[in-house]
Amino acid sequence: MYDKNNVFAKMIRGEIPTNKVYENEYAMSFYDINPMFQTHVLVIPKGEYQNILDFSQNATPAEQLAFWECFNKTADILGIECNFNCLANAGAAAPFVKQSVFHFHLHLVAGNRTDAFEELVSEFR
């Protein structure tokens, strides 16, 4: 069940500060608070969707269009044309990187690795 008190829901409601890159009616993007790469932005729908499957199965066509419009504009603003990664973690037991905020988000990352990334990968060694 969707938790209305997750940190992204609070950002959408304007209850906590957000370093926004772009926003439209149904989606927004903002800088990750703990960047793993030189550029690390999260793209989220404003609707209450727990993960990528929930979003792709249940979001309206308008919400889905707006999400991809936000993704495209964000990449454009950041100057990312190629050489980036896009990642969606789903579930607290996801095998690669676990989902920690249960509101669907795409990580959009580019550029050099940060110390936070080195710390993360050290857990796999």
DSSP string, 53-103: HHHHHHS-HHHHHHHHHHHHHHHHHHT-SSS-EEE---STT-SSS---S-S
**Beta carbon nearer to ligand AMP, 65 or 88:** 88
Among 2, 7, 52, 114, binds ligand AMP (CB under 6 A): 7
Q: Which residue has the tokens 């603003």?
A: 77
Which sign, positive or negative, has the C-alpha torsion 114, 120, 124, 125? positive
Determine which residue in the list 25, 33, 68, 91 makes contact with ligand AMP, applying CB under 6 A. Answer: 33
Binds ligand AMP (CB under 6 A): choice among 3, 20, 25, 34: 34
Residues numbered 52 to 71 that lie near ligand AMP (CB under 6 A) are none
Asked if residue 101 binds ligand AMP (CB under 6 A), the reply is: yes
Q: Does 100 participate in binding ligand AMP (rule CB under 6 A)? A: yes
Q: Burial, 10: exposed, middle or buried (Cβ in 10 Å; 0-12, 13-18, 19+)?
A: middle
Site mask, ligand AMP, residues 80-99, x = CB under 6 A? ---------x-------xxx
Question: From the CB of 61, what's the least distance to ligand AMP, in Å?
Answer: 25
CA dist 89 → 23, 45, 61, 98, 107 (Å): 22, 15, 22, 6, 9
Interaction site with ligand AMP (CB under 6 A): 7, 32-34, 89, 97-101
